[in-house]
Amino acid sequence: MSAATPVRVRFAPSPTGMFHVGGARSALYNWAVARQSGGVFVLRVEDTDAARNKPEWTDGIINALAAIGIHQDDPTFEGPYFQSHNAERHREAAAQLRASGHAYYCDCTREQLTARTGSEHLGYDGFCRDRGLTYAEGRALRFRTPDEGETVVKDVVRGDTVFPNKAIEDFVIARGDGSAVFLLANVVDDLDEKITEVIRGEEHLSNTPKQQLLWEALGATPPVWAHLSVIVNEKRQKLSKRRDKVALEDYLAEGFLPEAMVNYLMLLGWAPGEDEEILPFEELVRRFRIEDVNTSPAFFDIKKLTAFNGEYIRALSPEQFLAACAPYLTAPYANWTPEQFDQALFETVAPLAQTRLAVLSEITANVDFLFLDQPVEDEASWSKAMKPGADAILRDARSAYETAEWAAEPLKETLLAIGEQHGLKLGKAQAPVRVAVTGRTVGLPLFESLEALGRDRVLARLDAAIAKL
């Protein structure tokens, strides 16, 4: 490709389900190439599978892309493009290939082919190549693959891959009703949208020699190819929506920040160097080189993603953190009513929560004790904390807290002294108090929580726990 040729990349998802994180990575790599080259990112929705496509899936893809900062930016078309809108051009291209001798009609059935070859698994045998059939309803249009030579796919990620032409069957490019199949529609759309680089998952590599032959038969120069490695789970199995959490929307809804998702997905198969990982997208784009992408399967490590997200949460300003938590402080996440929620009280403990959250949705369980009339009963926490002697700790704490100075440090010193009287370190002494007041063995710092909750509510909860014991 000439240095003067403007770079145009595309992302072309099919709206057949929620937005896969693997698709998000492909979109980000395309976006990065466009941004660093001053090129154009084209969003095309490949919506020709009417039986499986749904408008809500299309909306979900567009919204998920927008959440991670990606959108159609072709100045010649507001977009996104829809493959179904280009059906007439697909038919024209099929007719052009037929007229130029690059394609022919075929009326063979699968049963006939099996009878001729003796196998259900062999490719098409070229039976109709020279029969001179004309168009009739039900006759497919097949591409006439060259008998000799080879097709070399020059891939900037994988290097050159050689496909002997004799191993490529005469593949169908238009169905019996005249509509184009994916292979042809994809090529025609890329041609019309002037795509110069195709960056996509390696599952498309097997289609690439056929598509390259179509580009050449239509009199065009094929784009630069780049096929990205598969993404695998901890068992090194390809991520699957049937067994793995793969939808970008689900991660965002759970409280993974878009910036953290972008940062992590960019590193699935590529590294920015200098032993750095957590970087702003602008810096990742500056360093990104598609030719440096690894060909090995990329491990989607949820633990690492969660650690990334925690770092991004802690980097938020107080105002940003409050805004990010807001969706998780109301239904369906929150188990308190709007009347019970106290924004000012939440803001007093928000800085404590910000240092502990891994995902934003965890905020609900961390602060619910502040807004509920009684803490959530967690039997496992109760059993763990309320060991023999816990009632004595609770009684002494209840008595001391009735007159103690109501601030975190004095409350801590008071319970420390009570623990020493019972031969317990602070960690053991505070366990029954924490469960009595918050309902759980883990959460925000205890003494700051007591201070925020207030003397009367703390004493009432200690009384309730003592009565239960």
Q: Which residues are catalytic?
A: 241
Tokens of 409: 């440090």
Which amino acid is residue 73, in one-letter code?
A: D
At 275, is the secondary structure helix, strand, or coil? coil
- Sign of the dihedral defined by the CA atoms of residues 414, 420, 426, 428, in that order: negative
- Among candidates 287, 280, 203, which has minimal Cα distance to 239? 203
- Contact between 201 and 157 (Cβ < 8 Å): no
Secondary structure letter of residue 240 according to DSSP: -
Rg, the chain, Cα only: 31
CA distance 7 to 375: 58
- Burial of residue 374 (CB within 10 Å: 0-12, 13-18, 19+) is exposed
Task: Say if residue 108 carries a ligand binding annotation.
Answer: yes
CA distance 298 to 273: 17
Task: Say if residue 241 carries a ligand binding annotation.
Answer: yes
Q: What is the DSSP string of 228-245?
A: EPPEE-TTSPBP-TTTS-
Task: Say if residue 325 carries a ligand binding annotation.
Answer: no
CA distance 256 to 251: 6
Question: Going by C-beta distance under 8 Å and a sequence separation of 6 or more, which residues neighbour residue 425?
Answer: 419
CA distance 193 to 81: 9
Helix H or strand E encompassing 417: helix 408-421
- Contact between 64 and 24 (Cβ < 8 Å): yes
Strand partners, 161: 153
- Measured CA distances, 376 to 22, 47, 162, 209, 443 (Å): 38, 47, 63, 60, 13
Strand partners, 232: 238, 299
Backbone angles phi, psi at 368, to 5 degrees: -60, -30
HSE on the CB side for 293, CA within 13 Å?
35
Tokens of 389: 């002697």
CA distance 362 to 217: 56
Question: Going by C-beta distance under 8 Å and a sequence separation of 6 or more, which residues neighbour residue 10?
Answer: 30, 41, 42, 43, 44, 190, 193, 195, 198
CA distance 46 to 302: 29
User: Which residues are annotated binding-site positions?
Assistant: 106, 108, 128, 130, 241
User: Which residues are annotated binding-site positions for Zn(2+)?
Assistant: 106, 108, 128, 130
User: Which residues are annotated binding-site positions for ATP?
Assistant: 241
